[in-house]
Structure 1
Amino acid sequence: MICALGSAVCYGTATVLQAVAARSAAAPGPDTGGSGASGVDPALLLRAVRQWRYIVGLGLDGLGFVLQIVALRSVPIYAVGAALASSLAVTAVVAARVLAVRLSGTEWAAVGVVCAGLGMLGLASGSEGHRDGPAALPWALLAVAAAILVAGAVGGRLPDRARALVLGLGAGCGFGVVEVAVRLIDSLDLTNPALYALLLGGGAAFLLLTSALQRGSVTTATAGMVLGETIGPALAGVVWLGDHTRDGLGWLAVTGFAVAVAGALALARFGEAPDAPPTRSLPEVPR
């Protein structure tokens, strides 16, 4: 669980850096993003990686991913998913400190709610399941990862609000594919479709998330991402992979999961950190 929380800290901090980089990397164009009619712009990702903030963010993402893998091999997916959703609370706190963003009392309360939910999950979570799931599950994950790319290409042409929701939900589902795929990989077996599902799902998630950060409603996109990366993978872990809770504490795990995700949704606007406040210039001295 400590690894899951460490992963959330890495991801939450990286979001602040990557969001600012994604905005400044947006090419000027008639449709606010330089990607024409589509909201998914692969060139945007290439422009973003030329900036140091995005590179540092990717480094934190890499460290967070390693911690996430360790966590997924030790605790149930539902606990890891809720912890990753709490990265929004980290982003909110980092934005408040680094970018001087003012959090309302409600948002500070939401940070506390996320922490309370994670505390409940930590108390109620058992060990991870040891079932391999259905034989078709790795292939199903690969199909879902491919469908996410198609959905992103189609959703990128929708009106702003629907586009943000589709891109965010697609990114969340991509991260969810990664969470489940990690549990199905025991070694570097190039014949295991779960390995390719992990790579395709992760790549699709980063592409859609980067595009969602640059276009549309950040709050809507992030809310979709939180739902996509928590609910589906949690159900897959419980139904197919044997994840369970401590004896008699199933109700506490369900409550903690719901509370943590609800708190994260309340902080959805921090899926993209606001731009740094402008520097005040000195008043002109009359001659």
Structure 2
Amino acid sequence: MVCALGAAVCFGTATVLQAVAARAAVADGGGGDAALLLRALRQWRYLAGLALDGLGFLLQIVALRSLPIYAVGAALAASLAVTAVVAARLLRVRLSGVEWAAVGVVCAGLALLGLASGAEGEREGPDWLRYAMVVTAVCVLLLGAAGGRLTGRARALLLGLGAGFGFGVVEVAVRLIDSLRPADLLTNPATYALLLGGGAAFLLLTSALQRGSVTTATAGIVIGETLGPAAVGVVWLGDRTREGLGWLAALGFAVAVAGALLLARFGEAPTAQEV
């Protein structure tokens, strides 16, 4: 759980640092996306954000090898609470009373999950599940192509859900990789599901945030990356709670996700002028 929470802190802080660097790059001059990216890469905040993203991913992998998927998914959704708090500090964004309450709700939900979560499931999952993850990753790409043709909130929601499903594929695929030997990785369909699902998720996430409602897109991501993977972990991978605490885990999961949804506008850290 410490690793899962550490990943949330890394991802949430990285969002704000990269947002600050990106806006500074825009202020330094015009140009296309490539020029803006090059200017952003020259700033320590952007590089620090990338480093935190990498560290967060490593911590996520460690957490997924030790905890049920439902606990890790809820903890990662809590990165929105981290983004909100850091944005209030660095960007001087004013959080409403409801949003401060939502931060507390997320923390309470994670505390309940920490008390109720058992160890990760011991099942390896059926063989077909690895191929199903590859198919799901391909479907995420198709969903992105379909969502790109829509407009408004429907577009943001569909692309956000697709990105969430892609991140969910990554969470499940990590659990389905049982050996890190190069030969085993190359012959395990879960390896390709992880790469394809992660790539598709970032592609859809970028598209959703560029031309759509950040709040709507982020809400879709939170739903997509928590509910489906949690169900897969419980049904096929043997994820369980501590004896007699299933109800507490379910309550903590629901509370943490609900709190994250209230903070969905921090999927891309806003400027103070936007609040």
Return the letter of the residue paired with 1:4: A
| One of 221, 224, 227 as aligned partner of 1:225 | 221
From the superposition, tell whether residues 202 and 129 of structure 1 become closer, same or farther in structure 2 (CA, over 3 Å): same
Counterpart check, 1:138 vs 2:130: yes
| One of 37, 56, 59 as aligned partner of 1:64 | 56
| One of 222, 245, 248 as aligned partner of 2:241 | 245
SS in 1 for 2:197: helix
Q: Deviations over 1:247-285 (max 9, x none)?
A: 01000000000000000000001111113659xxxxxxx
Q: CA offset at residue 61 of structure 1?
A: 1.1
| One of 108, 112, 121 as aligned partner of 2:104 | 112
Q: Which position in structure 1 is the counterpart of 2:15?
A: 15
Percentage identity across paired residues of the two chains:
77
Question: TM-score if structure 1 supplies the norm length?
Answer: 0.86
SS in 2 for 1:130: coil
Residue 3 of structure 1 contacts residue 71 of structure 1 at CA under 8 Å; is this kept in 2? yes
**Alpha-carbon distance in structure 1 between the residues aligned to 2:264 and 2:14:** 16
Residue 20 of structure 1 contacts residue 274 of structure 1 at CA under 8 Å; is this kept in 2? no
**Alpha-carbon distance in structure 2 between the residues aligned to 1:225 and 1:111:** 18
From the superposition, tell whether residues 13 and 219 of structure 1 become closer, same or farther in structure 2 (CA, over 3 Å): same
Question: TM-score if structure 2 supplies the norm length?
Answer: 0.90
Q: CA offset at residue 13 of structure 1?
A: 1.1
Q: Which position in structure 2 is the counterpart of 1:177?
A: 169
Counterpart check, 1:206 vs 2:202: yes
**Alpha-carbon distance in structure 2 between the residues aligned to 1:49 and 1:121:** 41
**Alpha-carbon distance in structure 1 between the residues aligned to 2:38 and 2:135:** 28
Q: Which position in structure 2 is the counterpart of 1:38?
A: none
SS in 1 for 2:127: coil
Q: Which position in structure 2 is the counterpart of 1:216?
A: 212
Q: CA offset at residue 45 of structure 1?
A: 8.1
Counterpart check, 1:88 vs 2:77: no
Relative to total residues, which structure has the larger helix share, 1 or 2? 2
From the superposition, tell whether residues 163 and 124 of structure 1 become closer, same or farther in structure 2 (CA, over 3 Å): same
SS in 2 for 1:251: helix
Residue 82 of structure 1 contacts residue 261 of structure 1 at CA under 8 Å; is this kept in 2? yes
Counterpart check, 1:100 vs 2:92: yes
Q: CA offset at residue 98 of structure 1?
A: 0.5
Query: Larger radius of gyration, structure 1 or 2?
Result: 1
Q: CA offset at residue 57 of structure 1?
A: 2.3
| One of 157, 169, 172 as aligned partner of 1:165 | 157
| One of 40, 45, 63 as aligned partner of 1:51 | 40
Q: Deviations over 1:136-160 (max 9, x none)?
A: 1011101111111121122112012
Q: Deviations over 1:53-92 (max 9, x none)?
A: 5443222111001000110111100000000000000000
**Alpha-carbon distance in structure 1 between the residues aligned to 2:20 and 2:211:** 13
Tell me which moved more, 205-214 or 49-58. 49-58
Runs (4+) of structure 1 exceeding 4 A deviation are: 19-26, 43-47
Q: Deviations over 1:145-202 (max 9, x none)?
A: 1111121122112012111001111111111000000001022320101001001111
SS in 2 for 1:136: helix
Tell me which moved more, 209-218 or 81-90. 209-218
**Alpha-carbon distance in structure 1 between the residues aligned to 2:159 and 2:230:** 21
RMSD of Structure 2 on Structure 1 (CA): 2.1
**Alpha-carbon distance in structure 2 between the residues aligned to 1:179 and 1:45:** 30
From the superposition, tell whether residues 150 and 23 of structure 1 become closer, same or farther in structure 2 (CA, over 3 Å): farther
Counterpart check, 1:256 vs 2:252: yes
**Alpha-carbon distance in structure 1 between the residues aligned to 2:54 and 2:113:** 25
Q: Deviations over 1:212-241 (max 9, x none)?
A: 222210000000000000000000000000
Residue 48 of structure 1 contacts residue 54 of structure 1 at CA under 8 Å; is this kept in 2? no
**Alpha-carbon distance in structure 2 between the residues aligned to 1:173 and 1:54:** 26
